[in-house]
Amino acid sequence: MDEEPERAKRWEGGYERTWEVLKEDESGSLKATVEDILFQAKRKRVFESHGQVRLGMMRHLFVIIDSSRSMEDHDLKPNRLTSTLKVTCAASVNCTILSQIGIITTKNKRAEKLTDLAGNPKKHIAALKKAVDSTCVGEPSLYNSLNLAMQTLKHMPAHTSKEILVVFSSLTTCDPANIYELIKTLNGLKIRVSVIGLSAEVRVCTILTRETGGSYNVILDESHFKELLILHVKPPPASSSSECSLIRMGFPQHAIASMSDQDAKPSFSMSHLDSAGEPELTLGGYYCPQCRAKYTELPVECKVCGLTLVSAPHLARSFHHLFPLEAFQETPLEEYEAERFCEACQGELKDKSVFTCLACKKVFCVECDLFIHDTLHCCPGCMQTDRMS
């Protein structure tokens, strides 16, 4: 009964009943059910529009990743940790630009800050990639990690939405003090805690999320996991009590200087001040409109004057959260009688349903519908009519 040996081989893994979901149709073929499952999976994402709700666009979010013993479980392939990190990477890229993310891991009853709150996803992705190789040992401590996140978040201004997202794999937590006290404090600080459970419903998480107004979900499989995480990318509605304030932002121009230019002097970027990497001399960069400090990457908070520096396209990308594209109307293929081709990809409509934009009445296939809502955030049909008029 010693510690579970490394079970890397597929055939040594757990016993699964993958066939149970599949059902034969009348002719005894599995094809129909397989297609149905795929179709369902595509449509599962619910486009719930908040209507006219204030969204907490300025987010300060700590992601707490459990990296305790239970993360070595193989029910997500290749194991829970790798899968989690992969999914989180993907999600953090999509996160809105106005939000700042930090990552905390917890193992061996301790919590450790992997990255500090920062707006730039590159750093997080690098850190997460590095974490894949770390070993998972001991028990997680919900208390310690929440406490660590809270220490930073409580100094954040009141107009921002303060959030913690816990990816919790273990079923136990090893806490140094009563966690219910901490939950009360979190509630007082208006920090919203959401939990994604990887194995089952744990009571303390239920209470934690209920008290702080977050959501609690348990994953069914990998794709469900991804979906749940994507849901968290969307900014949550702001609580009515949060303040309104104007925020100063700088939109620095990228100054390009070529090597041939004699006036250009190579200089260090300000963001290298605290990074461990080799400082690099560069010629061009973004200059803060207020203090002329140089940065090579955006978005960033100016180290000198504290101004948030973003680029206009970045800001525009956050826009769609405020005005999401309305869901298209779904109609079964049989009832649809016009020409059967998709407005976007020009392909033939073969799926069970077709999707009609309510504004321009153009018709799209499932694939394009998803692409439009997830990535484009605007209807190509409407754009076309706009231009024509």
Partner 1 sequence: FRLNIEGLLVYFPYDYIYPEQYSYMLELKRTLDAKVCYNPFIKLISSCMQYAYPLEVTKLVYCSRTVPEIEKVVEELRKLMDYYAKQTGVKNDFLALALSSRKNLCIHPEVSSLRFGKEVDGKCHSLTASYIRAQHHSNPSQPVCQFFEEFDAVGRQVPIPPGIYNLDDLKDFGRRKGWCPYFLARYAILHANIVVYSYHYLLDPKIADLVSKELAKKSVVVFDEAHNIDNVCIDSMSVNITRRTLDRCQTNVETLQNTISRIKETDAAKLREEYRRLVEGLKEANVARETDIYLSNPVLPDEILQEAVPGSIRTAEHFVGFIKRFLEYLKARLRIHHVVQESAPQFLKDIYEKVCIDRKPLRFCAERLRSLLRTLEIADIADFSAITLISHFATLVSTYSKGFTIIIEPFEDRTPTIANPVLHFSCMDPSIAIKPVFGRFQSVIITSGTLSPLDIYPRILDFRPVTMASFTMTLARTCLCPLIVGRGNDQVAMTSKFETREDFAVIRNYGNLLLEMSAIVPDGIVAFFTSYIYMENIVASWYEQGILENIQRNKLIFIETQDAAETSMALEKYQEACENGRGAILLSVARGKVSEGIDFVHHFGRAVIMFGVPYVYTQSRILKARLEYLRDQFQIRENDFLTFDAMRHAAQCVGRAIRGKTDYGLMIFADKRYARADKRGKLPRWIQEHLTDGSLNLTIDETVQLSKHFLRQMAQPFRREDQLGLSLLTLEQLQSEDMLQKIAQIAQQA
- Contact track, partner 1, 103-122, x by CB under 8 A: --------------------
Q: What are phi and psi of 73, to 5 degrees?
A: -60, 145
Among residues 150, 134, 154, 24, which one has the least CA distance to residue 72? 134
Of the pair 94, 108, the CB lying nearest partner 1 is at 108
Between CA 30 and CA 312 the distance in angstroms is: 50
Between CA 200 and CA 343 the distance in angstroms is: 43
Within 8 A by CB and 6+ apart from 345, the residues are: 365, 367, 368
Under rule CB under 8 A, residue 83 binds partner 1: no
Of the pair 203, 387, the CB lying nearest partner 1 is at 203
Between CA 14 and CA 368 the distance in angstroms is: 37
Residues 51-70 that bind partner 1 (CB under 8 A): 69-70
Q: Is the omega angle on the peptide bond into residue 299 within 30 degrees of 0, that is, cis?
A: yes
The window from 144-152, 168-176, 301-309, 375-383 that contacts partner 1 (CB under 8 A) reads 168-176
C-beta of residue 80 within 8 angstroms of C-beta of residue 73: yes
> Which one among 163, 175, 351, 369 touches partner 1, defined by CB under 8 A?
175
The window from 166-174, 255-263, 287-295, 306-314 that contacts partner 1 (CB under 8 A) reads 166-174
The burial class, CB within 10 Å (0-12 / 13-18 / 19+), for 340 is middle
The window from 126-134, 173-181, 234-242, 342-350 that contacts partner 1 (CB under 8 A) reads 173-181
Of the pair 19, 155, the CB lying nearest partner 1 is at 19
Task: With residue 331 as reference, give the H or E element that holds it.
Answer: strand 329-332
Under rule CB under 8 A, residue 14 binds partner 1: yes
The window from 100-108, 165-173, 234-242, 255-263 that contacts partner 1 (CB under 8 A) reads 165-173
Task: With residue 249 as reference, give the H or E element that holds it.
Answer: strand 249-250
- Contact track, partner 1, 192-231, x by CB under 8 A: -----x-xxxxxxxx----------xxxx-----------
We find the least distance from the C-beta atom of residue 237 to partner 1, in angstroms, to be: 18
Residue numbers at the binding site for partner 1 (CB under 8 A): 1, 14-17, 69-70, 75, 139, 142, 171-175, 178-180, 197, 199-206, 217-220
